[in-house]
Structures are given as structure tokens and as C-alpha cells.
A and B are shown apart, each in its own frame.
Chain A
Amino acid sequence: MPDSPVPPAATPAQPSRRAFLKTAAVASAVVAAPLVIPARALGKDGNVPPSERIVMAGIGLNNRGRHDLAWALGENDTQFVAIADCRKSNGMKAKEMIDKKNGNTDSKFYADFRELLARPDIDAIVCATSERWHALMSVLTMRAGKDIYCEKPGSMTIAEGRALLDTQRRTGRVFQTGTQRRSEVGFMYCNELARLGRLGKIHTVYAHTLPDVNKHRWLPPEPEPPKEEFDWDMWQGPVPYRAYNRGYLAWHGDPWTHTGGIGEWGSHTIASASWAVDMDHTAAVEYEWPKNDNGDQMVCLWPNGVKLVLNAQGWPKAGVPGMWRGSCGVRIDGTEGWCACADGYTVPEVSHPSLLKEWKKLVNDYLLRSGRPVGHMRDFLNCVKSRRTTVADAAVSHFAMSTVHAANICVQLRRNLKYDGVKEEFINDPEANRLRSRPSRDPWQF
């Protein structure tokens, strides 16, 4: 049994966990009651009545976030009441979506998420800030007694991931990291093939990464936008302060704000790969520097002896065959065959068509056995109700991201590393160990 406390209940222990109407009195101190109550709010037309709905709010829902928001709004047991964003224009776009769904304009906008987290009527948060905020926002949300669906990656350092995991355990809140491929049928099927031994003994798993290399930037200052429109200090959050420059808003590729090409896709693909080989409860323990700066073809080793190979050349290009036809691919190789899945696959690719013979049956068996739904947001919402641990919980996030961070450190130090997965420290490498954490900028505190 993995050492992560995985979930209990597959079904809600109590049919109704929250009386929305009872809490309306509390909520009304902050949110004005709608003048006209839509039929949906009354539970008519097959809708879930308010007392059964999960009261939700969003934080930092820009492009990807509004995709997540659309997912959550599409579920009939959610009731969004608020949005927080340090960029007002982004926040108002999300508010428009919420208001359109609610049929009124009552949802509340906050420039400071702390005011939103202080509301006692909110059960759960969808967070899609940029990644420097993910672990901290998740910790603060769970400390406030709320559940959270937070976009990936779950952390910027090994220590952040540990704080996230410990907070989740200590508070017993529900956390889902946004590695949605763990709720998609193609990846489920690959796992089942591996688990049932259809591929023989698994020896290697390939995880798609991007070839991008992070580089520290320091851009010339520009006039800062008005704070009521864009709170620049808040936007930077826990990372080192730099004077405003719009260039920083493209935050990919900067190690203070991004986990690089390895983290961008590895946060997804390593979490998919570890699932397939039952290594969700540990980071990889060996990292072989591939003599480049982007980690492409880095060979890592899990404690069970399975190799994890990072592949930044997964997509085909002229003259170079690729491993996948889509993004965020994973390939599992065993002694008797292989299977691969990536975005856009209607069915996984397999070493032989016979491996697809049980396509629907194995997926259905998995769904039946696990009680999981297809759909990552749905899984989160189910777990909010049942208090079960999600399919991509804080442990999954922490250990997959620990592998990402260790791989990044391996590339940064340009040498092979060994990692003690129990002590969570590099073996005989003090310099690497000093890179496992970095302090949050004041006043932010884990």
C-alpha cells in the first residue's frame, strides 16, 4: 500500500452535505440576494436544488482558468458566487461567465483573494493563477477550510510540494491538481494494460516534455498600471520582486515563475507515467544528466527499477521520427508490448492491434472498480461531496513534481543525481540539497 493516505469513501457518506439556504444568511452579508430566482436555483427542470450544490468561487481564472470554469459551470451541482483576480479585466470576464450561468449579476468580484477565502459560505475553489502561486494558494485555501481544484503544476520547489501535501493531510481537505489526463479514457486504458500485465513486465516509461530552457530575466521598468486595475505586487506574489514590465506577463521560460520545459508538460506526463507503474507515492531516485540543457532523453529511475525517460522530441519533425502525434504523450514499454497515448488520440497507439481488443471493457472495468468518472473536474466535485481523495491528489502532485524539480536541478548542476525518496534529499550532494527550497517573498508564508 502506498504511504500516501489515499481516499476513503467512493460514495457520499451522507446524501446532503450542505444546506445552501441555511448559509444564505451568512452569505447575504456579502452577496445581495437575487431579486429574481431562476428556475435552476429552485431545482426545477431536473437541476440540482441549491441545498445539494457545491458553493464555489474562482481565483485567477484567465485563459486556462476560464476553460476550467466552463467545466465547473457545466456541472449541475455547482453554484459559483465569487471570483478573485488581481487583474480586474480578467476577473470581470470570468464574472460574466458566472453571471450568465446564474442568470443574475450577483456574483462578487474581489481584487484580493484573501477576502474571498474569508467567506464562510464558500465550499470549494477553482484556482488557475500562474504557477508561482499554485502551492501557496492551495495551502491558504485548505487552511481556510475549503477544497481546491488547482491547475498544474502543484509546486515550484520540492519544499513547496511537501508543504502542500502536509497541509492537505493535516486539514483533510480535498485537493485536485489539474493533470486532467488522469481522468481521460486513453490514459486509463494504458494504465489498465500495464496493470493487468498485458504488456508483460514494464521496464521503461517515456514522458513527453518540452525542449524549452528557462533563463532568468530582468527587464527595464515600465510605468505600473493603476493598482485598482492590476495589482502588480499581488500578481508577483511569492517570487522575488521586479519592477513592472509587461514582458513579465509572458511568464513561461523564467525560473522564478515557471518550471520550464520539463515542468510544463512533465507535470502532466510524469503524473500519468507514475500512475501506470504504481509509483504515485515516490519521486524518481536517480537522474542521469543527458548532457544538454533541456533534459531531453534524461533517464530517471524509480525505486521499482522502471526507467522514466524524458522525451522533449516527442513530436515528429522533418527527418526525425516522433514518439507521439499529440502533446503530453506517455508511452509504456513492457517485455510483451507497448502502448502510448497523447492528446488527440481517439484510442491509444499499441504495439499490436490485438492490445486494443479490450478497449471498452477495460475502461469500463476501471470505472466500475475505481468509482471514478471520466472528467477531472467531475472527479473533484464527486470527492468534495464524498470526501474521498481525488485521482490526482496532493501526493500525486508532490511526487510527480519532485521528479520534475529534481530533473531541473540535475540539468542546472549538469551532473547525475541520486535522491533519497524517503528523506526527500539528494544523496551526497549538498549543493543540490540547497536548491530544494526557496523562501516566499514577504508577506507570503506557507
Chain B
Amino acid sequence: MKSQSLILALVLAAMISLPARAQYGNKPESDKYIAVLKSEAELKDKSDACRELGRVGTKEAIPVLAALLADEKLSHMARYGLEPIPDPAVDDAFRAALPKVSGRVKIGVITSLGFRRDVKAIEPLAALLKDADAQVASAAAVALGWIGTPEAKKAIEAVLTTAPEAIQAGVYDGALKCADVLMQEGKAAEAIALFDQIRGKQFPPHIRLAGTRGAILARGEAGIPLMVETIRGDDPNLFNAVLRVALELKGPKVTAALADELAKAPAHRQTALIETLCIRGDAAAGPAVVGLVKSTDKAVKIKAIQGVSRLKEASAVPLLLQLTADADGQIADAAKASLVTIPGAEADKAILSILAKDDAASKRAGIDLVARRRVLDAVPALQKLAGDADEGIRQDAIKALGDLVSAEQIGVLIDLLNQAKSAQDIEAATTALSAVATRADDAAADKLIAALAKAQPPQRRALIRALGAMRGPKVLAAVRGALKDTDPQVVDAAVRAICDWPGKDVAADLLAIAKDSENGTHRVLALRSYTKLTKERGMQPAQKLQMCKEMLALAKKDPEKKVVLSALSDVQHPESLKMVMSMYDEAGVREEAGAAAVTIAEKILAGQPKLVAESMEKVAAGTRNADLANRAKALLADAKKKLPK
């Protein structure tokens, strides 16, 4: 894998240093923009032309753009046009301009020479390192860094330790860039020499950190001793910096060196080393990390517990299993989370073995783990545990089966439902069936519907709840049929399934329940669900209004009316305000009507000032809610301003 800095070099090569091609650019477009530059056009048009020449400019554009480099107003835009043109003539133009410009414009030209990595510019840029203008000298140092050849390195080295303070930042940056480019272009010896200088004690700490990184990377595997030396050093910043390097340096020897340091490092550095090894992802580090699962330092222990999973270290499974029962909840949770994600059949097998243990706590922990790991081989063991004498184990096993059995195996759960020993068992089976139902197909739905015919009321209720998690016409028909069941609990399940059914297919069912049900809760639930339909995407205000009218006609009691008011508050229409205000005199819903009225009024104020004013006057006078009264008064004042004088 190529390093990113090498990619940078390739990018630069592709962008800039391509040999001149016989043809590039778009001649008709280029000629058009050249003509603009040669004309008396305004600054704006010339700027635009330069910009477009950056995209389409041909060889003929180069001298025209180059002529603008010394123009303070257009120099930047000339660079804009020139920089992307793949022709060495552009470099010649920038170099030729260099002695003719000064100040900011010169900095711009220097920057372009650096960006294009023009090796012929090294000599003039080196001379500029001693320029009286510190910004010019700094810019030259950075540009030499971009160029990044041994000759550029020599030029930077000449001022590396002697540069005046005003240009030191530029020189250091140029040196780092230069060393980086040398490293990526395979000139390791040159890069190492420069990096080693930069990590000297006379440089600022952040420069030394960067130099140390480069000095290790440029050496490759030979940099491992320096990496280790830095890891063992006293400087925490260098320690942290070198861990980043450890991620960039590839190879098993690096992993081995880091793993070796793991046992020797103090606890506060062990967590950082574990994280580094985990990100490197080299499984060879696994055994070293397993060793720290037994650490007496809690932070290290937890980090190691997490680490063995990330490093896929199956040998840690027995240790992790022990720790699931640790008295410290954080350690136990970490162990469980690690066991959930540690990959491999061996881990599956070890975790499966817990299901056969004698004690209830182990069994229940094992059930949780196989469910979270999705260990499909656990289904037979779980079926057995679903008949366990211990109620907790039994119900956990039934629920876990819901995570593991396939739609084809839904019959297993139907059988368990029919064999349930308690209401809690039925509840567990209902949860499991509902989980499977979410990923089930028509065949599974057929099995559930067939089971309905023979089931007792509690089981019928469970089956309807499971069917409520499915979709399709056959399922909906079965749920509708259950609305007429003789058992009220089954009817309750069917009503709730209808109320949770998405979309307009159940609109008529909802209105029927709201109209005919003798159960007040069901009426409110149905109206609430119908309200949700009014909020479906793309619903127009007039449609919403019509649906609210239908609901209002059915709302007999205050809770039902409150549902309708809530729906009306979302309808931006003068009629909705009128409907709401028609309920304002009803004591049981007055405050809800007032709130809805204010919400609607805020949205339709601009077009309905008269109606808003009349309504808000009434709300402001009648509400007991001070905030609502204030909003109504503010609206009233705004509405009055909009009324014709």
C-alpha cells in the first residue's frame, strides 16, 4: 500500500509535472478567453477568463497569462489560470516572473513554483531564503520543501540552524515537507539525514515530534530501535507521537516490538499501547494483550478485555467467561461485550458450552451471549432450556429463540406458545414470535394464521400480536377477523394491531372502531392513529381538514375531542380555526382548543387577519394559561395591524 505522502507526489506529478502534451485544453474555449485577456475588458471579465483558462487553457494561453503575473490586480488570477496547465512552459513563465515582482505578488509566484515542484527554481528560491522580506524568505523555504529533491534539501539545510527568528517557522515547515517528500520518493538516506537534524534539541518541541516521526518512518524496520527508545523515554508527548508512528510503520517486527514493550510499560502507558496494537490489527499481538486481562489495574484490564476481541484472540474466551461473573459490573459488562464480538467458531463452541452448566446464573448469561452473538447452532440447546423448570431460564431461552430461529422455523415458537406453562411464558413466546415475524415471509404468516384456528384465547392474543408485526393482505384480513373475536383480550390485540398498521389501508377500520367500539380506550387509540394518517407525507390541508371533520363527527367524549383538536392544530386552514373555535366554549376542552387555535392562527395570520383577530380576542379573554394568553394577545395585536384602517 502506498503511503499518502507518496500519493501526494503522484498527485503533484499528475497535476503539474506532466511532460508537455502535444495537445491539451480546449482550443475554441481557450481562444475565446485569450481574446478577453487581450481586450480592454473589465477586471471581472478578465478574472473570469483566467479562471476558465485554468480548466481549458492551451499552450497559447501561457504567454498571455504570464504577462499578467506582475499585475497586482490580476496576478493571482493569472496563477489561477497557469498552475493547472500541464506544460513546462508554465514553469519557465513563473521563473521568468520571479525577479520582476516583489512583496505579496512575489510570494504568490514562489508558491506556484513550489506547487509545481519546479526543480529549475531551486537556485533562485535558495537565493530568496536570505531575502530582506521575511515573508518572501519563509515562502521560499516552504516552496523548496514542496519541491523536495536532494538539491532543495541542501538549500534548506544551509539555513536550518541559522535562520533568523522571523523565518524559522517557514524554514522548519519547508524542512519537514522536504524530508517527507524525499522519504516517499525512496531517497531514504537523504530523508533520514534531514529528519535526524530536525529532531535535534535546539528545535521547538512540536518540530522535534514531527522530526522523530519522520526519522522512524524513513528508516522502516531499522527505525524500530528508535521507536522503542522513544516509547521508553520520559517525554509523554514523544511517547504519544511515536504511537501514531507505530500505526504508519508496517510489518510483524513492529508488532512484536510493541507487544514486547506492553508487559514492561507502566500501567498508564499500557492502555495506549493496547489501543495501538488493536488499531494495527495484527493478531500476533493477541497473546500479549491476553496477558493483561489479568492486570490489577482496572483501566488496563478493561482495555485488554476489549482488545482481545478486536484482535480476534480466541484463547481469551475462557478468561472472559470467568469475568462475566466479576463482582465489578464494568468488568463483567466489558467481558460480555467482548464475548459478543470476538469472532470464530471456537468462541461459539465455548460460549455454547455454558448452556450445559448446572447453575442458573451461568445458563442465563450463556443464553444472553448466544442470542447477542447470533449463535445459530444454539437453537437445539435453547429449545431444551425452553422447557427448564426454572422460570427465568425458560423465558430467557424462549426470547433468545426469537433472535435465532429463522422464519421457516417459526413452528418451533408456535409449539412453545401452545405448551406455555404460565402467562409469563406466553408473554415470552409472544416477544419471540413478534421478533421472528419481523423477518418472516408469507409462508410463516400462513403458519401463524393456521395456528389461530386451534388456539385458546391467550394464545390467539399472542398470535394476533405477532401478526401485527407482519404486513400483507392475508395478515390484515386475519387481524380484521379477530376484531370480531369473542374474547375481549383478543379483540384488544386486534385493535392495537390495526392502530399500529402503517398507511391508509386501515383508514376505514379506524373510523369504524372510533364509531362503534364500546371501549373508550379503543376509540381514542383509533382516533389517534387516524390522526397520524393526516400527517402522512404529501397530505394537503384540504384533505386533512376533511379527515378532521370525519373524526369530529365521531368524537363523543372529551379525550376523543382532544385528539381531534391535536390533529386540527396541524392544519393550516381558516376552516380548521373555525372548527377549533366552535369547541372553545366547551369547558372540558377549552384549553386544548385555545392552544390549537393559537397554533393555527400563527400560521395563517398573514392571509386571515380578521378571523385571527376575532379568534384571538376570545382566546386571550378566556384562557387560564398565561403563556397562551400572551401569545394570543401578540397575535391579536399583529392581526389588528394588518386589518384595513
Contact of B111 among A320, A369, A386, A439 (CB under 8 A): A439
- In the complex, are the beta carbons of A144 and B107 less than 8 A apart? no
- In the complex, are the beta carbons of B279 and A6 less than 8 A apart? yes
- In the complex, are the beta carbons of A144 and B80 less than 8 A apart? no
Mask, B1-44, CB within 8 Å of A = 1, is: 11111011011001100000000101000000000000000001
Interface membership of B86, Cβ < 8 A = yes
Mask, B328-364, CB within 8 Å of A = 1, is: 0000011001001100000000000000000000000
Interface membership of A357, Cβ < 8 A = yes
Residues of B140-180 whose CB lies within 8 A of A: 142-143, 169, 173, 176-177, 180
- In the complex, are the beta carbons of B275 and A368 less than 8 A apart? no
Residues of A217-252 whose CB lies within 8 A of B: 218, 240-241
Interface membership of B584, Cβ < 8 A = no
Chain B interface, >50% SS class: helix
CA gap between A320 and B536 in the complex, in Å: 11
CA gap between A218 and B46 in the complex, in Å: 12
Q: Which residue of A lies closest to B81 (CB)?
A: A439
CA gap between A241 and B43 in the complex, in Å: 11
- In the complex, are the beta carbons of B47 and A240 less than 8 A apart? yes
- In the complex, are the beta carbons of B107 and A166 less than 8 A apart? no
Residues of A389-432 whose CB lies within 8 A of B: 389, 422-425, 430-431
- In the complex, are the beta carbons of B14 and A437 less than 8 A apart? no
Question: Contacts A145-B207, A422-B7 hold; do A319 and B538 have CB atoms under 8 A apart?
Answer: yes
Interface membership of B55, Cβ < 8 A = yes
Interface membership of B439, Cβ < 8 A = yes
- In the complex, are the beta carbons of B86 and A166 less than 8 A apart? no
- In the complex, are the beta carbons of B209 and A172 less than 8 A apart? yes
- Measured between beta carbons, the chain A residues less than 8 angstroms from B108 are 439, 441-443
Interface membership of B418, Cβ < 8 A = no
- Measured between beta carbons, the chain B residues less than 8 angstroms from A439 are 76, 79-80, 83, 108, 111-112, 115
- In the complex, are the beta carbons of A387 and B244 less than 8 A apart? yes
- In the complex, are the beta carbons of B14 and A425 less than 8 A apart? yes
- In the complex, are the beta carbons of A433 and B83 less than 8 A apart? no
CA gap between A433 and B112 in the complex, in Å: 17
- In the complex, are the beta carbons of B75 and A318 less than 8 A apart? no
Mask, A328-360, CB within 8 Å of B = 1, is: 000000001000000000000000111101000
- In the complex, are the beta carbons of B111 and A423 less than 8 A apart? no
CA gap between A392 and B36 in the complex, in Å: 44
Chain A interface, >50% SS class: loop
**One of A8-16, A39-47, A102-110 contacting the partner:** A8-16
Mask, B376-402, CB within 8 Å of A = 1, is: 000000000000000000000000000
- In the complex, are the beta carbons of B107 and A442 less than 8 A apart? yes
- Measured between beta carbons, the chain B residues less than 8 angstroms from A386 are 240, 272
- In the complex, are the beta carbons of A437 and B104 less than 8 A apart? no
Give 12 A-B pairs besides A7-B279, A169-B5, A352-B438 with Cβ atoms closer than 8 angstroms: A9-B272, A10-B303, A14-B268, A145-B207, A166-B4, A320-B538, A321-B537, A354-B469, A434-B55, A439-B76, A443-B107, A445-B142
B residues adjacent to A (C-beta < 8 A): 1-5, 7-8, 10-11, 14-15, 24, 26, 44, 47-48, 51, 54-56, 73, 75-77, 79-80, 83-86, 104-105, 107-108, 111-112, 114-115, 135, 139, 142-143, 169, 173, 176-177, 180, 204-207, 209-210, 213-214, 236-237, 239-241, 243-244, 246-248, 268-269, 271-272, 275-276, 279-281, 299, 303, 306, 310, 333-334, 337, 340-341, 434-435, 438-439, 469, 537-538, 540
The 21 listed contacts between A and B (C-beta, < 8 Å) are: A1-B279, A9-B243, A13-B243, A145-B207, A159-B15, A170-B213, A171-B209, A172-B241, A316-B537, A321-B537, A365-B341, A369-B310, A386-B272, A387-B244, A388-B275, A424-B7, A424-B10, A425-B14, A439-B112, A442-B75, A442-B108
A residues adjacent to B (C-beta < 8 A): 1, 3-15, 17, 143-145, 159, 162, 165-166, 169-173, 216, 218, 240-241, 316, 318-322, 336, 352-355, 357, 365, 368-369, 371, 386-389, 422-425, 430-431, 433-443, 445
- The 5 A-B pairs at the shortest CB distance, nearest first, are namely A145-B206, A9-B272, A442-B108, A387-B240, A8-B243
